[in-house]
Structure 1
Amino acid sequence: MTLDAPEVGTRIVVRHETGGVGPTGGPQMTDVVGHVLAVDDDSLTIEQRDGCPRVVDRATVTTWKRVPDRPVRRRRAVAIDAEELTRITSRGWPAIESVPLGEWELRAAGRFTGRANSVAVTGSPGMPFDDALARVRDFYRERSAPPLAQVVVGSEHDRLLAAAGWAPMDGYHGGAVVQVADLGASGTYAHDADARVSPVADDAWLSRYGRVSDPADARAVMEAPAQVGFVAIGAPGEAIGRVVVTGEWAGLSAVEVAPEARRRGLARRIVETSLAWAVGHGADKAYLQTMRSNEAALALYRPFGFVDHHDYVYREPSA
């Protein structure tokens, strides 16, 4: 049986054969739910609720149908496990090079940000802990980069890293608080009439972001997700922000305002436009990462319902 292919962007449920044998002796089936990212003659690529893409062989598909973009029942943002959220945030800020080590993710991106140049320590590495740390050291040594581990503060992994002699990284950017919020329905947030949202980071946007030593590396990381918007108000980019949607989650980052344009509400307008864009692209939850000492940022996001979820820290070998 030949089935019509769903359109890219459609939220669907696909039933397909797994290749195994079901309980009644027939083909084993499973369902995949998510938004269609890509379609070709051989496969469907579906983005699931956590942003993880799933490729389904079209020859194995038995049925598919559209489903509502926003399920009636949903999991609250605060209910997600911290390590699962770490994996989601990593998909929203993907490294140029990503290598799995069991459930850990070795990330490298020319030293553009700690998030893209550290091992995300979540789940099991699939080998003894000390052996995994040796693999981490080797990975970064081969790339002439310092070994760093991003880990949830207070987790068992955090305690194991401390016991192995990995100390918290010094400095302002040695970690962050992750906050989350449940998003309202379409129409809750206003897309500012003066705001521009582009799928690419132009030179003016990058110059305002200010943390860029190699524009190619920065663009490779920040432009990589399938659904990403670079928000700007004013010329040349008096205020900027970045919003990404992976599955049901939106990630906000890089909200910056020129010093001479502050105290005019531009940051709030960037955030509200970002949330309007996110809801329009299927998100019903959002996260952000900022320094716990950044009172201005925490105050900016508080009216939008953002609350603390967890803290993470970067650890590095002490010797």
Structure 2
Amino acid sequence: MDLQAVAATGWGFAERAYIGGWEVRAAGGRTSRANAALPLGDSGMPLPQTLEAVREWFAERALPGMVQTIDGSPLDREITDLGFTETHRPALRQTAPLGPVLETLKSSTDARHVAEVTTELPEDYFAAYLRGRGIPEFKTLLTSGDALIAFAVVRGDNGQALSVGRVAIDTGTGYAGIAALATVEAARRRGLARIVMRDLLAFAAAHGAGDTYLEVEDGNAPALALYASLGYVTAHRYHCRRL
């Protein structure tokens, strides 16, 4: 199982093309995952020519050429040896069997407090997910891709969105990716993110998922502590190399 390829199904894009087995994506420069080349197969060309083709594709869109690579992988080392040493937005991909994570979440949350789960992007999602507020591309990023996508919202008594999250289920492999988690500042440290994750993973399990993954910045100590308490372990570290 190639976790990088699985994760590629779980995030959207505004534009996509292929250079052989390399997938290239663009979304106006918003987020590294949606604006990078993903080396998911053989490009059919020597690496220097492939990287030049990637650079040209992004240059046509007034964007810097980026390649997402796994830190320390043979490809990552080859690209470094060609002189491309600048990296951006390092992060960890973590994974865990879905069943135990879901049981831990069920045992640590109030079953009476539930999230609304829908396959449509809630209109007020960005009231909590501030990273995407006011950025038109984010609606496309959250709703497109090659996976079965669902959203969860925990609301307050007045209907306000307090905590949100997204799951993308790769039906081919049974992996469910949790992403775009956010809780409004006034509602933090109340376990709402656990409720969001619980109900998203319950949805994923009902749709055949058996494993789960997520992506987290390696300096995000609170998130890393939460995920570790649920049984997630790091599969690899990745970043984008600028061409």
Both structures adopt the same fold (TM-score exceeding 0.5):
yes
Residue 140 of structure 2 is matched in structure 1 by: 220
1:176 to 71, 86, 91: 91
Residue 230 of structure 2 is matched in structure 1 by: 304
Rg larger in 1 or in 2?
Answer: 1
Deviation at 1:89, TM superposition (A): 0.7
Report matched runs for 1:162-201 at 5 Å: 162-170=80-88, 174-184=89-99, 188=103, 190=106, 193-201=113-121
Report matched runs for 1:21-170 at 5 Å: 80=1, 84-170=2-88
Residue 229 of structure 1 is matched in structure 2 by: 150
* TM-score normalised according to structure 1 size: 0.68
User: Which digits, 9 at most, give the CA deviation of each residue in 1:248-277, with x for residues without a partner?
Assistant: 110001111111111111111111111111
Q: Which amino acid aligns with 1:95?
A: F
Q: Contact 1:97–1:107 (CA<8 Å) still a contact in 2?
A: yes
Q: Contact 2:117–2:151 (CA<8 Å) still a contact in 1?
A: yes
Deviation at 1:213, TM superposition (A): 6.0
Q: Contact 2:163–2:193 (CA<8 Å) still a contact in 1?
A: yes
* TM-score normalised according to structure 2 size: 0.88
Judging by fraction of residues, say which structure has more helix: 2
User: Which digits, 9 at most, give the CA deviation of each residue in 1:188-223, with x for residues without a partner?
Assistant: 464764311122223421232122266542222211
Residue 284 of structure 1 is matched in structure 2 by: 210
User: Which digits, 9 at most, give the CA deviation of each residue in 1:73-116, with x for residues without a partner?
Assistant: xxxxxxx3xxx211111111032222121221111122221101
Q: Contact 1:205–1:232 (CA<8 Å) still a contact in 2?
A: yes
Identity fraction in percent: 32
Distance (whole Å) between structure 1 residues aligned to residue 134 and residue 64 of structure 2? 18
Relative contact order: is structure 1 or structure 2 higher (C-alpha 8 Å, sep ≥ 6)? 2
Deviation at 1:150, TM superposition (A): 0.5
Structure 1: which 5+ residue stretches go unaligned? Answer: 1-79
Please say if 1:206 is aligned against 2:126. yes
